[in-house]
Amino acid sequence: MKLTLKIWRQPSQNVKGKFETYSLDNVSEHMSFLEMLDVLNEKLSFEQKVPIAFEHDCREGICGTCSLVINGQPHGPLQGTTTCQLHMRNFKDGETIVIEPYRASAFPVLKDLSVDRGALDRIIQAGGFISVSTGQAQDANAVPIEKDVASHAFDAATCIGCGACVAACPNSSAMLFTSAKVAHLALLPQGKVEAQKRVLNMVRQMDLENFGNCSNITACEAECPKGISVSNIALMNREFLSASFSSNDAN
């Protein structure tokens, strides 16, 4: 395959960026999208040019490190797939592919295609955990959880925190991410203990990070590589409403 690649290049956060066009020959259709970029970077290094910065880690679709907006879609055209699991057979020979970083004020571009997604980590730090006393591990089946509830919680827990929801949202809202984390823990008995405090703190942190507001456009759900449902957002709205009116915190 021969490809024309229009890639966003930006030396650092405070320097203006622009698109550069590269042409890449002999691309195998069996390569993943990231392997294609590896080949391009090898070529650039060989030509004594600065390789393109992009994020990647497990390359198995489970860590949430890879990102990219490919032809206008976070993680590219294939639904329910991360960029690392997207293969070049989904593109045509001679195609022009536009590759951009995630765009959101809360995700500043660090270099080229890599952005700072620390805002999502800070939302987790605000309440996306359960407090457990250390000691001997409890028997796995000691706490009974109904199958439907466990499945719902698991579906929410499959969120890998990649930030594609924020990138896809015209408002750059992080509601899908935050709601997946809230729902995952609020549904389970272990998470119920701190449920009210959790949702209040996580929403407060989300608002501090300057994400936009949810308009129920559902672009987040459509682009989520893990298919997280917007019904989690409704669940978080319910949790937030009830916690605001009934939590023990006077403020």
- Contact flag: residue 72 with other proteins (CB under 8 A): yes
Buried b (16+ CB within 10 A) or exposed e, 26-57: ebeeebbbbbbbbbbbeeeeeeeeeebbbbbe
Judged by CB under 8 A, the chain residues 92 through 131 that form the site for other proteins are 98, 100, 103-106
How many residues at the interface with other proteins, by CB under 8 A? 51
Among 41, 90, 158, 237, binds other proteins (CB under 8 A): 237
Pairing outcome for strands 114-115 and 96-100: unpaired
- Contact flag: residue 54 with other proteins (CB under 8 A): no
Summarize the chain as % helix, strand, coil (round to 5).
40, 10, 50
Pick the closer one to other proteins by CB: 110 or 222.
222
Residues 6+ apart with CB under 8 A from 17: 8, 9, 10, 11, 109, 112
> Exposed, middle or buried by CB within 10 Å (0-12, 13-18, 19+), for 2?
exposed
Tokens of 64: 């949430």
Give least dist CB 203 to other proteins, A: 6
Pick the closer one to other proteins by CB: 149 or 241.
241
Find out whether 23 and 4 touch, Cβ atoms under 8 Å. yes
Give least dist CB 59 to other proteins, A: 24
CA 13 – CA 15 distance, rounded (Å): 6
Q: Using the rule CB under 8 A, give the single segment among 37-45, 155-163, 184-192, 225-233 that binds other proteins.
A: 225-233
Judged by CB under 8 A, the chain residues 1 through 20 that form the site for other proteins are 6, 17, 19
Give least dist CB 194 to other proteins, A: 18
Find out whether 78 and 33 touch, Cβ atoms under 8 Å. no
CA 174 – CA 44 distance, rounded (Å): 35
Among 203, 205, 226, 228, binds other proteins (CB under 8 A): 203
Q: What φ, ψ does residue 123 adopt, rounded to 5°?
A: -65, -40
- Contact flag: residue 59 with other proteins (CB under 8 A): no
Q: Using the rule CB under 8 A, give the single segment among 24-32, 50-58, 125-133, 163-171 that binds other proteins.
A: 163-171
* Beta bridge partner(s), residue 73: 70
Give least dist CB 132 to other proteins, A: 28
Give least dist CB 229 to other proteins, A: 9
- Residues forming contacts to other proteins in the complex (CB under 8 A) are 6, 17, 19, 69, 71-73, 98, 100, 103-106, 168, 170-173, 175, 203-204, 206-207, 210-219, 221-223, 230-231, 233-238, 240-241, 244-245, 249-251
